[in-house]
Amino acid sequence: MTNNFLLGAATAAYQVEGNNDKSDFWIMEHLKNSTFKEKSGEAVDHYNRYEEDIQLMREAGMNAYRFSIEWARIEPEKGIFDREATEHYRNVLECCHENKITPIVTMHHFSSPQWIIREGGWENEKIVDYFKNYCRYVVTELGDLMEFICTINEANMRNELITVMKSFAKSLGINIQVGVKLQLPEKMMAGQREAGKAFGGIESVNTFLSPCTPKGDLLIMQAHEAARDAMRTVDNRFKIGLTLSLHDIQVVGNATEKAVEMWDDEFKHYLPFIEKDDFFGLQNYTRTLVGEEGELSVPEEKKKTQMGYEFYPQALENVIRKVSSELNLPIIVTENGVATDNDKDRVTFIEEALSGVKRCIADGIPVLGYMHWSLLDNFEWQLGYSKTFGLIEVDRKTQTRKPKDSFYRLAEIWKRESER
């Protein structure tokens, strides 16, 4: 039942490679009024140390690695594909196979080429063709080494940011009309103006981590479909899907209608665009408690992670069951983890999460794999290096890898679960 189960960890190129200076976030983190806590710099130098990291995974008993290809390295300017970068990712893929690690490749994990943003970013209708052409190029060049492909990481993230900003705005008494009007504090507005100037004088900066309009939400899914279909024309043996960020939405009181609305916004309205996929990438970190007025704060007595989430590993099983009841596709848990400086808590989190996965499989739910987030402590976007999700600690002065106990326990825990 579990002999072919994919067990491993995940990373994102921008967060671990370092020096992705052709990417949009490189500009964003270097602004005077940047929202980034610190600069990524050389990150954890995974670009040069991937062999060491993949070998460590093999030694720890993992058999899969989810990583992303940096679009800005492959296509730093529109229509210009970089051979050296392409060969680099061929080397990464070959390294995976040499170490009996199944690569799960993500084509887009939040960061985009700067030229994409200059042309309107993820609100420009041309993004559909741009992304399709990039994906077709990658699989034409590297597809012989691929099997599982995630087109877009957390394709619902831009839409989720609207909810976050509504909550933030409400707390500050700021008026937001989604997709029409956004009134922000002057410092944030100054950052937006500076970013527009940095990208060549554009009026609006639409990165993948900018709130989207309904049109922008649709464009992401159209880009996914176009890329999926284009890659299948190159080779139909690929297993292609996308990933969504999902919460275990739990009702408190008489809030069933509100919870249904939130689940539709987060998951169900995407179903028409993914039903023809080969698998679904499920990403979950915690639960969301919902009352009649909307999302509730984490109860004071509950343990929180470094991110302010509730420590609630049971959420994963609940979300897997919910998704499987509404989508007839195999599931890969492409991200699940916890930000904590207490590795014993991480081990507990993994034990609870994998126990839930095993119960789902035992009940006939087709869960193909589990990718823990993340392999390495890394650059957590605007939060910099302050949050530790990794199974491996990194001394960033020397780039020395220091595997945590959880790194070695991951495979041990799954082996124990699968033998029960």
CATH of the domain at 240: 3.20.20.80
d(CA 386, CA 348): 22
Range of the domain at 20: 6-419
For residues 303 and 311, the answer to whether their CB atoms sit within 8 Å is yes
154 is catalytic: yes
User: 199 lies in a domain?
Assistant: yes
Q: Which residue stretches of the chain have pLDDT < 50?
A: 1-2, 168-183
Placement of tokens 């949009």 in the chain: 24
Tell me the pLDDT tens digit for each residue of 206-255. Answer: 999 998 999 999 999 999 999 999 999 999 999 999 999 999 999 999 99
Q: Strands 239-241, 102-108: parallel, antiparallel or unpaired by DSSP?
A: unpaired
Which tokens in the block code for residue 306? 């470094």
User: 116 lies in a domain?
Assistant: yes
Which tokens in the block code for residue 216? 């922008």
User: 414 lies in a domain?
Assistant: yes
> What's the predicted TM-score (pTM) here?
0.95
Angle, CA 303 vertex, CA 358 and CA 391 arms, to 5°: 55
Which tokens in the block code for residue 180? 């029409």
Residue 299: the pLDDT is 95
User: 1 lies in a domain?
Assistant: no
Helix and strand element counts for the chain (H, E)? 15, 16
Residue 1: the pLDDT is 38
CA 72 to mean position of chain CA atoms: 17
Catalytic annotation, pick one of 29, 70, 154, 417 = 154
User: 262 lies in a domain?
Assistant: yes
d(CA 368, CA 334): 10
Question: How many domains does the chain divide into?
Answer: 1
What does residue 264 show for φ and ψ, rounded to 5 degrees? -65, -40
User: 105 lies in a domain?
Assistant: yes
Residue 25: the pLDDT is 98
User: 168 lies in a domain?
Assistant: yes
